[in-house]
Chain A
Amino acid sequence: EAGVVQSPRYKIIEKKQPVAFWCNPISGHNTLYWYRQNLGQGPELLIRYENEEAVDDSQLPKDRFSAERLKGVDSTLKIQPAELGDSAVYLCASSLDTFPGQGSYEQYFGPGTRLTVT
C-alpha cells in the first residue's frame, strides 16, 4: 500500500513569491491534515479536512495561506506571498476515522516538503 505522497520534497523561493505544495493521502483515508514543523520543534496543525470539508483551520494564517481538497482526495496548500518566517517543513498526514470523534486513529505522515524562503 502506498503511503502519503507529497511533492515537491524541497523548494527554495525568494520572499514575496508564491509557492504550492501537493499531497496525495493514503487511498480511502477520509481525514487529511497539513502540519508545519519549524526547525527543532514538533509539528503544529495548520488545517484539517474531513472529506472535502475544512473542519479546523483556526491556525491557518488566512491572509497568505490557502488550502483546498477537491473531491475529498488530493490536497494543495498555497502560500502567497511567502515570507522569510515561512521557512519550515510542511507535512501532510491522513487517517481513516471510521467513527469521527475518536482520538486513537493513527495518522500517517508523508515525508514533507522542506521550504526555504530567501
Chain B
Amino acid sequence: GNSVTQMEGPVTLSEEAFLTINCTYTATGYPSLFWYVQYPGEGLQLLLKATKADDKGSNKGFEATYRKETTSFHLEKGSVQVSDSAVYFCALRNNQGGKLIFGQGTELSVKP
C-alpha cells in the first residue's frame, strides 16, 4: 500500500543554517506530494505541493522537488529562522483523490 517515510527528529539547527528533511514514499501510479507544517498550538497548514515528476514546490523560502526515480520529496531551506521551529509532515495523495497519507512528522527546532 501507499506509505510515506520521513527522517526522524528532532532536528536542531542554528539560525541561518541549511535545512534538509528527507521524505521518501511508496505509491502506485503518480501521486501528488505535499509538505504540511504544524506550528506550536496551531493546526496543519499546507507549506508546498507538487503534482507530477520533476515539479518543484516552493513557499516561504522552502522548496521540494518531486523525484520519481528516487521516490523522494525532500524539503530544503537555505537559511532557517527561529520562526521556522515547527513539526513538518510529508504526505501523498493518489490521483484518484481521497485521503492524505502522512509521514510521522519531523520536529525542527531553530536556536538563535
Q: Show the binding face of A for B, using Cβ within 8 Å.
A: 3-4, 33, 35, 40-45, 48, 56, 91, 93, 97, 100-112
User: 16 A-B Cβ contacts within 8 A?
Assistant: A3-B43, A4-B43, A35-B100, A42-B4, A42-B104, A43-B102, A45-B99, A45-B100, A48-B98, A91-B43, A101-B97, A103-B31, A103-B96, A105-B97, A107-B46, A108-B46
Residue pair B105, A104 in contact (C-beta under 8 Å): no
What 7 A-B pairs are tightest by C-beta distance, nearest first? A42-B102, A45-B99, A103-B95, A109-B44, A103-B32, A111-B43, A103-B93
How distant is the Cα of A106 from the Cα of B105 in the complex, in angstroms? Answer: 19
- For A104, give its contact among B36, B51, B99, B102 (CB under 8 Å): B51
> In the complex, what residue of chain A is closest to B103 when comparing beta carbons?
A42
Q: How far is the CB of B56 from chain A (nearest CB, A)?
A: 15
How distant is the Cα of A109 from the Cα of B102 in the complex, in angstroms? Answer: 14
Task: Write out the residue numbers on chain B whose beta carbons fall within 8 Å of the beta carbon of A40.
Answer: 104-105
- Is B49's beta carbon under 8 Å from chain A? yes
Q: How far is the CB of A30 from chain B (nearest CB, A)?
A: 11
A109-B43 contact given A42-B91, A56-B98, A101-B97, CB 8 Å threshold: yes
